[in-house]
Structure 1
Amino acid sequence: MFAPRPLALSILGRCPWRCCRRKHSAAAVPLSVREALVAKVDEGAKDVKIQGWVRSVRSQKEVLFLHVNDGSSLESLQIVAEPGLKNSAVSFGSSVEVCGVLVKSPGKKQSAELKAKEIRVIGDCDSQDFPFKIKERHPPEYVRQHPHLRCRTNTFASLLRVRSAATLAIQQFFQSNGYVHIHTPIITSNDCEGAGELFQVEAANRDQKGDGGFFGVPAFLTVSGQLHLEIMSGGFQKAFTFGPTFRAENSQGRRHLAEFYMVEAEISFTESLEDIMQVMENLFKDTTAAILSKCPEDMNFFFKYVSTGQQGSLEKMIKNNFIVMSYTEALEILTRATTSFQHKTEWGCDLQKEHEKYLVKHCGNIPVFVTDYPYDLKPFYARDNEDGPQRTVAAVDLLVPGIGELFGGSLREERLHFLQSRLDRLGLSDTYQWYLDLRRFGSVPHGGFGMGFERYLQCVVGVDNIKDTIPFPRFPYSCLL
């Protein structure tokens, strides 16, 4: 076994491990770029150490200027090198370690800068072949072709910081409201949505003699964690999951991915669709407010360079109550519209993206809840409203500006005879016997919802294509890395 790595350096100031021959600045305090930018520089000179990647290089007669970023901040830290360090072999894109003293910057664009005493190039970069050029704004389509390097760009780095903050805000929302986090499986034997857009899972080198496959039954990548979350709602009043889901949908559209993340929640002991809608609205508003508070620089970057006018739109969505209308009322609005739609606007037809965007615009670009969809449009688990000839279910979609559907939810059918009858008609009773058992053994009225995380990010930052909201987008004919 290896001996544990010593925590302290040797008294000679060198790393005691033979694999490391360089001197360490034992007195230098390691700081992130963000910490350096907000550090107080009036409390005496202190040696600090910065590590990161060079965003720009400017050499003058007596001094060398670098801008270094480590991903912790949109703004880079300016490095001012002493004359003796002017010829340091530093190029755009290279990784460096800089030791020096933080001082007040005479420039207006930054409050502090680092007066370098030592610059060490950790990794050289061939700036001629590096796909991103200094001071150039590359189109998203070009940047997307280099998924292994695009985190070096300002736009995508900002997106990833916003994504991280949104992830934390969502977790905090549920935890502070008493939800239990459940890790639902990625590999499953059921199709929650019933749409059949599944990726089948099988071992690549399995023994071909058996006909049951690796798991003994057909297995798929999950399209939703909802049904497993419903199992958990039999023992917990509030539960949520947040994980990857998959759809084998052959779409090159701007709001579809083959792999994406879903935020899903389930609430027991509720018979009110309004309760579910209130949680959806609160989640959207609280998470968005947290992002605006925690990531002001990154969000302002998007407002200025990517999505002009988005700031006002978000503030409007946070301040106003979301609008509620039934599917029937939505159809009446669409029928009266002077706009010519490509798809039908007849009762019983599903709402298409063009309809969803029109309804939001019609309501002043305030998010819209559409409730009580036709019985045949929603999956088997949606609760029957028992409301006459135009039969509907207690289901709801939340439509938001620029995106259309963001959330989908419903009350679940907890009445055994209703559920049994519907599954019998669909020929699914044997497949979902376990789901029927949930209704036989202490079921309660319950409901829940799901939100596409990448669509949410699209809505918040205002990017045009959902492929630019996830580190490694997966879509038809594209699985880079």
Structure 2
Amino acid sequence: MFRAAVKTLSVGSRVSLSPGLSEIRHYCRKIPTKVRISEALSGVALGADVTIQGWVRSVRSQKENLFFHVNDGSSLQSLQIIASSNLNSPLLTFGSAVEVRGVLKKSTHPKQPFEVEAEDIQIVGECNPVEFPFKIKKRHSPEYVRQFPHLRCRTNTFSSLLRIRSEATAAIHSYFKEHGFVHIHTPVITSNDCEGAGELFQVEATCPQDSENHHFFSVPAYLTVSGQLHLEVMSGALSKVYTFGPTFRAENSQSRRHLAEFYMVEAEISFTQSVEDLTKVMEDMFRTATEQVWAQCAEDVDLFYKHVTPGHRETAEAMLKKKFTIISYSDAIDILQRSSENFVFPTDWGCDLQTEHEKYLVKHCGNLPIFVTDYPYDIKPFYARDNQDHPQHTAAAVDLLVPGVGELCGGSLREERLDLLTTRLEAAGLEDTYRWYLDLRHFGSVPHGGFGMGFERYLQCILGIDNIKDVIPFPRFSHSCLL
């Protein structure tokens, strides 16, 4: 057919199309374009023959017409489909997966700019609405939805959360890239306990090992609790590095703030001798990422502020309007001791701040984020730099406390002085374990520091979500590892 449509051309002859080729082009123009619902709602394919694929969110049948809404996860808003009633099917139910072919047109309804006039409807996946745990037009509680980790992405709230989470991830990567940081993939399996708390998941092979050494790696290995020490290695050659990945803590906790598996954003900066250099990056990253999430996920964020955490928008906006306050640990203890609150945990100088202390301090400072610096040396890990010039024995460490969450970020300058670091490791009986860490101070060490931010806690903070289990796709905590 194509050969018949092509005429032999000589030099200087005019090109003309035979009726056969014109018909082919006309036919090609009628082939439906596969369009995502977010694109359809923007009108990019207005008037075109389109194919829409997604899941049914509502169905309404009349005598002559059929109306239903489809969502494919690309947008909070669903797209209305209009069809003749003879295209209806008993399998077209809430939750079923469909493929619709039709024409994208302007809608006469004020709440939906565009709709599809369907010419063909195919049921791709059936769904029994009676057995489906989520019901049409019903807002389920987070506790109820949490029971179905394999299905909760079908709800509006959780699909919005996943889009926000994705955008926040991109925003954080973008921030570090724009500020000259190199992304490092730090290992998930490690022989180090960075935090020193002993809350580790040990890794062992399921297959039998030789009798002489039962460890697969010849030494005990664990799931990482932090990528910090590996970042410190890299900061000896690349002055600004970061990592963003899963970390693991074997905490036997059912609290609203803790998970056994969560994501951490960690950064390390060389040639710095100031805690303020760290606080600047923490605050700047927080602001930049949040502004990008608000700009790119406005509808999804609005859903949370209107229906899930009403009133939190004002708190979130206030966090970005004012510069974060900085107070010392000693000032924080003074505030707590002068408080009329009956704290469960002690507030003596030298104690570690607990969640109840952190939340009170945030509230005391206007319900805005605050940095707490210069913690007691003895409660900080071995790598924290000794503030030798302070009257009380403190470390150059800093935590960022935020509304509703408490601690969001933790960081410190690292001890680059070999003699002080050696003394502390010897006192802890860790000199042999961390001899490689001492080697870093032998070969071109520089003053440096870094911090880590819990990604799920960040999402809790900006959205006002009470339970950390509701901001991660598949929560892992003690006595629970569904899927």
Q: Please report the TM-score for the alignment, with normalisation by the length of structure 1.
A: 0.93
Shift of 1:207: 2.5
Evaluate the alpha carbon distance shift between residue 95 and residue 25 of structure 1 in structure 2; reply closer, same or farther with a 3 A threshold.
farther
CA contact (8 A) 2:91 2:127 kept: no
Following the alignment from structure 2 to structure 1, what is the Cα–Cα distance between the partners of residues 274 and 351? 25
SS in 2 for 1:38: coil
Q: Cα offset for 1:86?
A: 3.2
Task: Summarize deviations over 1:252-295 as a string: whole Å, max 9, x none.
Answer: 00010000000000000000110011000001010001100000
Which residue of structure 2 lines up, in the alignment, with residue 433 of structure 1?
A: 435
Q: Identify the residue that residue 355 of structure 1 maps to in structure 2.
A: 357
Within a 5 Å distance, the mapping from 1:34-53 to structure 2 comes to 34-39=38-43, 45-53=47-55
1:365 CA displacement: 1.1
Paired residue type of 2:415: E
Instruction: Indicate the percent of aligned positions where both proteins have the same amino acid.
Output: 65
* Counterpart contact for 1:88–1:119, Cα < 8 Å: no
Q: Taking structure 1 as reference, are residues 25 and 98 closer, same or farther at Cα in structure 2, changes over 3 Å only?
A: farther
Secondary structure of 1:89's aligned partner = coil
Structure 1 counterpart of 2:123, one-letter code: V
Q: Deviations over 1:150-170 (max 9, x none)?
A: 100011000000000000000
Q: Which residue of 2 aligns with 1:198?
A: 200
Q: Aligned equivalents of 2:64 and 2:88: distance in 1?
A: 7
Give the structure 1 partner of residue 307 of structure 2.
305
2:433 & 2:30 partners in 1: Cα distance?
A: 65
Please give the residue correspondences for 1:173-184 in structure 2 after superposition, counting only pairs within 5 Å. 173-184=175-186
Contact 1:273 1:394 survives alignment (8 Å): yes
Offset from partner CA, 1:95-153 (integer Å, 9 cap, x none): 00001111111212211111111110011111111111111111111111111111000
What is the CA–CA distance in structure 1 between the aligned matches of 2:142 and 2:327, rounded to whole Å?
A: 37
- Counterpart position of 2:298: 296
Give the gaps of 5 or more residues in structure 1: 1-10, 12-23
5+ residue gaps, structure 2, are 1-20, 22-27
Listed as ranges, the matches of 1:277-292 within 5 Å are 277-292=279-294
Query: How far has the Cα of 1:208 moved from its partner?
Result: 5.9
Matches within 5 A, 1:377-396: 377-388=379-390, 390-396=392-398
Paired residue for 1:99?
101
Tell me the alpha carbon deviations over residues 2-54 of structure 1, each in whole angstroms, 9 at most, x when there is no partner. xxxxxxxxx9xxxxxxxxxxxx996111111111111157x6x2111100000
Deviation at 1:206, TM superposition (A): 2.4
Q: Which residue in the other structure is 1:268 paired with?
A: 270
Q: Conserved in 1, the CA contact under 8 Å of 2:30 and 2:49?
A: no
The count of residues paired between Structure 1 and Structure 2 equals: 457
CA distance in structure 1 between the aligned counterparts of 2:443 and 2:476, rounded to whole angstroms: 40
Structure 1 segments of 4+ aligned residues over 4 angstroms from their partners: none
2:150 — aligned with what?
148
2:140 matched residue in structure 1: 138
Q: In structure 1, give the amino acid aligned to 2:388.
A: E
Counting only pairs closer than 5 Å after superposition, residues 5-20 of structure 1 correspond to structure 2 as none
Q: Which residue of 1 aligns with 2:211?
A: 209
> Would you say the 8 A contact 1:71–1:157 is kept in 2?
yes
What amino acid maps onto 1:391 in structure 2? Answer: H
Structure 2 equivalent of residue 399 of structure 1? 401
Counterpart position of 2:13: none
1:217-236 map, 5 Å: 217-236=219-238
1:320-469 maps to which residues of 2 (within 5 A)? Answer: 320-388=322-390, 390-469=392-471
Q: Does 1:27 align with 2:31?
A: yes
Q: Quote how far apart the aligned CAs of 1:412 are.
A: 0.2
1:318 to 303, 320, 324: 320
Counterpart check, 1:162 vs 2:164: yes
What does residue 60 of structure 2 align with? 58
For 1:31, the aligned partner's letter is V
Work out the CA distance in 2 between the residues paired with 1:280 and 1:125: 46
- Bigger radius of gyration among the two: 2
Of 237, 240, 261, the match for 1:238: 240
Distance 2:85 2:419 in 1: 84
For 2:32, the aligned partner's letter is A
